[in-house]
Structures are given as structure tokens and as C-alpha cells.
Amino acid sequence: MIGDAKEKGLPVVVVNDTKNKVGGDFSIKDTDTSEVIMDKIFKVDKSGKTTTGFLGITDE
């Protein structure tokens, strides 16, 4: 999930709505260039959420 813009950029949030601790990995690509702009490994407690980073905001 990508949240509302903050000073650091757009927060990328992983949400776990299960009753088990989970982990995994993901990547986000620029659709125009196919460049990977974020690649993260995460762990989230049961019924939890975590901010894994921020995407920069550009005027393009």
C-alpha cells in the first residue's frame, strides 16, 4: 500500500491482517523504465503494519 505524501515522500506500508507473523519481499518498478526503485525484505507482526520506506516525489 502506498500512503499519502509526507515530507520524506510517499510511504510504502506493508499490512498484515492475519493472526500470524509474516515476512516476505517485494520490489517496485518504474513502469516507464522498468528500473527497480525499491526492493525490500519485511517482517510484520500479526494484525500489524510497518512502513518499509518512502518513494521520492518528482515533478515529472
Which grid cell is 43? 517482517
Which sequence spans correspond to the domains of the chain?
A: 10-55
Is residue 51 a contact partner of residue 43, using CB atoms and an 8 Å limit?
no
Q: Which residues of 8-31 are buried (b: 16+ CB within 10 A; e: fewer)?
A: eeebbebebeeeeeeeeeeebeee
Q: What is the pLDDT of residues 17-35, one digit of tens each?
A: 999 999 999 999 999 999 9
Contacts of 60 (CB under 8 A, 6+ apart): none
Return the residue matching grid coordinates 518498478.
29
The larger pLDDT score, comparing residue 8 to residue 18, is at 18
Q: Give, as one character, the DSSP assignment of residue 7.
A: T
Total-model pTM: 0.76
